[in-house]
């Protein structure tokens, strides 16, 4: 093994190169200057994107990871630089996104002295990471980086934090790198029980009304093909969670839509009618299940997951299939008999027609009056033949975008699911573009979330990141307002917004832009946006009091789906 001496700061970059890192999102500061000084000599091999806020570095790393399937990397300084990333770290933890955040720290001699910009980053981040570790010696850097990348991307993925003291950065070490392939007591891929596989196949083969729920775990495991083969062999209708969207093509005949609070009517109703519920790589969050006491009580529940703690955590299961679903699902498929469930599948159709007539006709197909968000999303999806990546913020824009966008390729939705982080969209879209430069990236924002990270227009300007920003502007904090309207007696407490001229702001950053006020302007504006690969801001002034339907009230029975305001 070749060994040579170098500073810890250089050992860091040699380690990152060994992990095939090509992009870093970061912001320099006092405690990380030695690393940035070393980076000066690596700019031909590592692309550093200078963000305007450290939270954006973490979200950009998330966006990069979600579309590329690789580990995203953020680099920040100590104290406020590090604490600014915590929202992104927590977001990555909730959504199982593999990122490594490397933060500077004061020298070991100053630890515990309340030195300038000292924060106990390990203590702060341990609850929201898979692993958080402080590096105090330069010779420990290669070991820690190798371990960090292994932990972040193996098993159930998630964020890792490395707290890098200043003396570790400046000290000299003998550098050698060895990739981590095993950690004692950490079992990322549990052994699959063949007897359980046989039991799962037996239950599915005997089902008359099977229904599959597809989560993001399918995408994380790169198991889209394997799940599709299972569904097709046994003729099982399926629906996805919000995070699982794009795991199966929107056009696939067995894909019945999205589950959950704002999911499609058919999947929610059929959840409480099926006789076998097959959950694959999803965690039965409250936004999917609604009232647990009445959720799928008639069904045998089979749960495929890589994390033992998720099986039976929220929903009692008949059978838990523990293991990597890329391996466990085809093992079950091999034992399945070819089935026809035509009558069961056709039973979704009346519900689809009902939702179409109550919601889609009004919102998109026969839209009248002010512009509806849904018709804008449908048109941008069509503009790329449904092959683009959709990145959303959080709120009404998120749910409407997820519902009306169509997916033909996997890893085509990047959104904040578990934490629900406003401000996520713009930086995550930047990261997505760096992670998938050949794909069109649509960043769909609301006016509230956009203003939380609007400073990243500076990053887009400096790094020439060609994302297409669609700002759905209704001068409201729309989702909170919807809840106030439906459940809080229309007491609209601080959800109206007086917004700036967003186009003038885009002009200041040298970003081409258009504003749309009328329906007949939409097509031309989208064509203008799509005529080159440069950044563009499309501001669409939409219906001010838009409501997102369908909707299942929080904590209510999953079948109590509202299709319009007057529904009971």
Annotated catalytic sites, by residue? 54, 116-117, 166, 479
Place of tokens 């770290």: 89
Cβ density class 481-515: b for 16+ within 10 Å, e for less: bbebbeeeeeeeeebeeebeebbebbeebebebbb
Tokens of 215: 């989560």
Question: What is d(CA 207, CA 336) in angstroms, rounded to the nearest whole number?
Answer: 11
3-state secondary structure of 260: coil
Give the pair of three-digit tokens for residue 230: 């299972």
d(CA 501, CA 518): 17
Instruction: Considering only the C-alpha atoms of the chain, give the largest distance between any 2 of them, rounded to a whole number of Å.
Output: 73
**What is the spatial order of strands in the sheet that 512-516 belongs to?**
413-414, 389-392, 441-446, 468-473, 536-541, 512-516
Choose among 398, 408, 391: nearest CA to 374.
398
The residue count of the chain comes to: 568
What does the H/E/C string look like for 168-214? Answer: HHHCEEEECCCCCCCECCECCCCCCCHHHHHHHHHHHHHCCCEEEEE
**Burial class, 328, CB count within 10 angstroms (exposed 0-12 / middle 13-18 / buried 19+):** buried
């Amino acid at each position: 093994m070749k060994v040579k001496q170098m500073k810890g700061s250089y050992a860091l970059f040699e380690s990152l190169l060994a992990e095939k890192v090509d992009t870093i999102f970061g912001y320099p500061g006092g405690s990380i200057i030695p690393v940035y000084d070393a980076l000066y000599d690596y700019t031909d091999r590592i692309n550093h994107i200078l963000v305007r806020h450290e939270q954006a570095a973490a979200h950009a790393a998330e966006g990069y990871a979600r579309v590329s399937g690789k580990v995203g990397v953020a680099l920040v300084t100590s104290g406020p630089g590090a604490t600014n990333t915590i929202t992104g770290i927590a977001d990555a933890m909730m959504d199982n996104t593999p990122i490594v955040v490397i933060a500077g720290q004061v020298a070991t001699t100053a630890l515990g002295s309340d030195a300038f910009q000292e924060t106990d980053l390990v203590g702060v981040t341990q609850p929201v990471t898979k692993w958080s570790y402080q590096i105090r010696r330069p010779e420990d850097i290669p070991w820690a980086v190798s371990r960090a990348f292994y932990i972040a991307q193996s098993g159930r993925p998630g964020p890792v934090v490395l707290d890098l003291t200043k003396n570790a950065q400046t000290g000299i070490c003998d550098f050698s790198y060895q990739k981590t392939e095993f950690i004692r007591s950490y079992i990322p891929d549990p052994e699959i029980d063949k007897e359980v596989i046989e039991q799962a196949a037996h239950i599915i083969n005997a089902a008359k009304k099977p229904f599959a729920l597809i989560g993001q775990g399918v995408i994380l495991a790169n198991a889209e093909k394997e799940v599709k083969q299972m569904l097709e062999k046994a003729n099982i209708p399926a629906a996805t969670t919000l995070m699982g969207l794009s795991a199966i093509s929107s056009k696939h005949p067995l894909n019945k839509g999205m589950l959950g609070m704002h999911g499609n009517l058919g999947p929610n109703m059929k959840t409480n009618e099926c006789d076998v519920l097959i959950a694959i790589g999803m965690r039965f969050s409250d936004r999917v299940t609604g009232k647990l006491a009445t959720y799928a009580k008639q069904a045998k529940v089979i749960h495929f997951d890589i994390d033992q703690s998720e099986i039976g955590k929220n929903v009692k299961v008949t059978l838990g299939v523990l293991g990597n679903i890329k391996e466990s699902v085809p093992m079950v498929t091999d034992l399945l008999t070819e089935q026809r469930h035509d009558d069961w599948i056709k039973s979704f159709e009346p519900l689809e027609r009902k939702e179409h007539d109550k919601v889609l006709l009004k919102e998109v197909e026969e839209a009248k009056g002010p512009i509806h968000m849904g018709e804008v999303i449908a048109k941008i999806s069509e503009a790329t033949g449904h092959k683009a990546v959709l990145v959303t913020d959080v709120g009404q824009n998120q749910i409407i975008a997820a519902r009306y966008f169509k997916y033909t390729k996997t890893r085509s939705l990047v959104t904040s699911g578990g934490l629900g982080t406003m401000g996520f969209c713009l930086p995550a879209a930047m990261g997505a573009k760096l992670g998938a430069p050949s794909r069109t990236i649509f960043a769909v924002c609301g006016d509230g979330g956009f203003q939380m990270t609007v400073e990243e227009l500076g990053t887009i300007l400096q790094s020439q990141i060609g994302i297409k920003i669609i700002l759905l502007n209704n001068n409201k904090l729309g989702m909170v307002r919807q809840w106030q309207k439906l459940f809080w007696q229309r007491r609209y407490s601080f959800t109206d917004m007086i917004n700036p001229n967003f186009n003038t702001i885009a002009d200041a950053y040298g970003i081409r832009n258009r504003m749309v006020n009328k329906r007949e302007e939409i097509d031309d504006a989208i064509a203008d946006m799509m005529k080159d690969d440069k950044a563009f801001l499309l501001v669409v002034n939409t219906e001010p009091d838009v409501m997102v339907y369908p909707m299942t009230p929080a904590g209510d029975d999953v079948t109590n789906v509202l299709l319009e305001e007057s529904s009971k």
